[in-house]
Amino acid sequence: MDKETLQALDFLRIKEMVVDFCTTALGKEKAQRLAPTLEKKSVQEQLLQLGEFLRFEDELPLTGIEDIRETLIRAEAGAVLNPDELLRVYRVCGGLRNCSVFFRRHRNQIVALNYLAEGIEACPELERAIERAVDESGAIRDNATPRLAELRDEIRRRRNKLVEQMEELIQSNLGWFEGPVMVRRERFVLPVKVEYRNQVPGVVHATSASGQTLFIEPMEMISEQNLLQELRDAEAEEVNRI
């Protein structure tokens, strides 16, 4: 192989090593785009930057930094981000904040890296807003808004009361049922033995594989379940608004 080919292969091997050292997907992507240069000034600037990085006693805290470009594009277009997407944005905000703190702590050690330090913009207000709304598991917090807290309290109260009423019905007629209160199609139902179908008037939501059990929503509880569903719909709207 000629000299130019060998140099090209050497550069590719070096670039592969740099890519392997990158700890974020964004860093790996940028490293993949690296190209050799013979411009003396550019080489000197990059060597100065590298030298400053190597003099740091601790590493740049990149935990939480990930590629959220697609998410940001969707948000800018007016899309509603789900809780998992908000958590990703939250983690990036935290990562940016940590990097900003890192460079401030080392501000007396950097000159060539000033451009990088000045380009990091933390988003504390956005970070706090997401933290108030979304918990660590990705669920919207009850206290994200007073309206959501009110709706969820009412949902829990009515759901518990409804289940208690159904459990009382089971306890008063144990021979009619095949088990505890269940859920079918987001409605609470009772597993009624088929021979006692007429003892429990209501809407049949499903039948067991054997055909011996009917999952019935008692007629006297339909209006309460309708109201419960309205509350759930209102909750979903409030979560979507948040």
Average pLDDT of span 85-104:
93
Summarize pLDDT for 163-219 with one digit per residue, the tens: 999 999 999 999 999 999 999 989 999 999 999 999 999 999 999 999 999 999 999
What pLDDT, on a 0 to 100 scale, did the predictor assign at position 117?
A: 86
Q: What is the DSSP string of the chain?
A: --HHHHHHHHHHHHHHHHHHH--SHHHHHHHHT------HHHHHHHHHHHHHHHH-SS----TT----HHHHHHHHTTPPPPHHHHHHHHHHHHHHHHHHHHHHHTTTT-STTHHHHHT----HHHHHHHHHHB-TTSPBPGGGSHHHHHHHHHHHHHHHHHHHHHHHHHHHTGGGBSSS-EEETTEEEEEEEGGGGGGS-EEEEEE-TTSSEEEEEEGGGHHHHHHHHHHHHHHHHHHHH-
191 contacts 178 by C-beta, under 8 angstroms? yes
Residue 18: is its pLDDT beyond 90? no
Summarize pLDDT for 23-61 with one digit per residue, the tens: 888 888 888 888 887 888 888 888 888 888 888 888 889
Confidence of residue 2 (pLDDT cuts 50, 70, 90): low
Average pLDDT of span 75-104:
92
Summarize pLDDT for 111-151 with one digit per residue, the tens: 888 888 888 888 999 999 999 999 988 889 999 999 999 99
Residue 83: is its pLDDT beyond 80? yes
What pLDDT, on a 0 to 100 scale, did the predictor assign at position 101?
A: 92
What pLDDT, on a 0 to 100 scale, did the predictor assign at position 7?
A: 65
Residue 64: is its pLDDT beyond 80? yes
pTM: 0.69
Residue 241: is its pLDDT beyond 90? no
Confidence of residue 224 (pLDDT cuts 50, 70, 90): very high
Single-letter code of the amino acid located at 73: I
How are beta strands 187-193 and 213-218 bridged, if at all? Answer: antiparallel
What pLDDT, on a 0 to 100 scale, did the predictor assign at position 212?
A: 95
What pLDDT, on a 0 to 100 scale, did the predictor assign at position 127?
A: 93
Confidence of residue 6 (pLDDT cuts 50, 70, 90): low
